[in-house]
Amino acid sequence: MATAVFFHAHPDDEAIASGGTMARAHAAGHRVVLVLATRGELGEPVPGVLREGEELWQRRVEESYRSAEILGAERVEFLGYRDSGMIGEPTNDDERAFWQADLDVAAGRLAAILREEDADLICVYDDHGGYGHPDHVQVHRVGVRAAELAGVSKVFEMTMNRDAMLRQMKSGGFPGDEDGDFENRRRAMNMDEMGSPESMITHSIDVNDYIDRKREAMLAHASQIAPDSFFLQMSQEYFMQAFGSEWFIEIGRERNGGAFLDDIFG
């Protein structure tokens, strides 16, 4: 059996981007490790969710451990950086922010975990962080460098299948898309820069057998994801369309137009 390290920017990213793959890996007998760069200090809490005197970061750490338990992660580590906030925000310049982290120092912290775990593979984000969030971009940079330092040869970029999302949007495949205003919605959501084109993606992981675990892990992040939020109110059919596949690009592997691979441990 192998050890897989999933490196994410903030609490809840693990559930949304890789929760199904983590649960599937655990079910197959692999060791799953979750590393979070920040504690998500700058998220916007669901109104009324925090206890009196409770800081958001405290709740988000608690939620991370609960999500990890649901998904089968056997170890959770935080690199100790501060949430940088969205791109262009003044918080990007905070010297404590992950965006400001020295690349080799941050990568050294992560590499130490990779060595302790004798990791077989690491999952990071694609080179633009999926949608440009500074912390997501930094996860890519730090994760790739850490893999080099620790001698981990298998590096996977977690991404979104841009073409599949556009097809689903164009066909009215999700609630709210039925009005047919595809082009305006496409521009408003900046879809042409989100995720990766299908031609670059090497792995499509079917996680439908673990979709309930993924949904439960998302719900564990109650400070960020309200039970009545848009995607948690989706029917099971819509939810499976949106989240039933998780997409990866294996660095160094050419797609060459062939079929997607279906196992990051293969």
- Which one-letter DSSP state was computed for residue 98? G
Same domain, 20 and 51: yes
- Are residue 14 and residue 116 in the same domain, yes or no? yes
Domain membership flag for residue 255 = no
- Count structural domains, the chain: 2
Q: Where are the alpha helices (DSSP H) in 56-172?
A: 56-71, 103-117, 134-150, 162-170
Least Cα distance to 242 among 185, 189, 173, 179 occurs for: 173
Kindly state the average pLDDT of the residues 84-91.
96
Residue 29 clears pLDDT 80, i.e. is over it: yes
Reply yes or no on whether the pLDDT at 257 is more than 90: no
CB 251 within 8 A of CB 195: no
User: Are 173 and 224 found together in one domain?
Assistant: no
C-alpha 79/C-alpha 42 separation (Å) is 16
Q: Is 200 helix (H, G, I), strand (E, B) or coil?
A: helix
- Give the pLDDT band (50/70/90) at residue 228: confident
Residues 76 and 188 in one domain: no
Q: Are residues 185 and 153 part of one domain?
A: no
* 229-248 pLDDT, tens digit each: 877 788 888 889 889 999 99
Work out the average pLDDT over 43-63. Answer: 96
What pLDDT, on the 0 to 100 scale, is given for residue 229?
A: 85
Q: Are residues 175 and 77 part of one domain?
A: no
CA distances from 28 to 2, 31, 118, 122, 173 (A): 10, 9, 18, 17, 31
* Cβ contacts of 170 within 8 Å, gap of 6 or more: 182
23: left (phi over 0), alpha (psi -120 to 50) or beta: alpha
Find out whether 208 and 240 touch, Cβ atoms under 8 Å: yes
Average pLDDT over residues 93-114: 98
Domain membership flag for residue 261: no
CATH number of the domain that residue 231 is part of: 3.40.50.10320
**Statement to judge: residues 36 and 142 lie in one domain:** yes
Supply the range of the domain harboring residue 109.
3-160+196-250
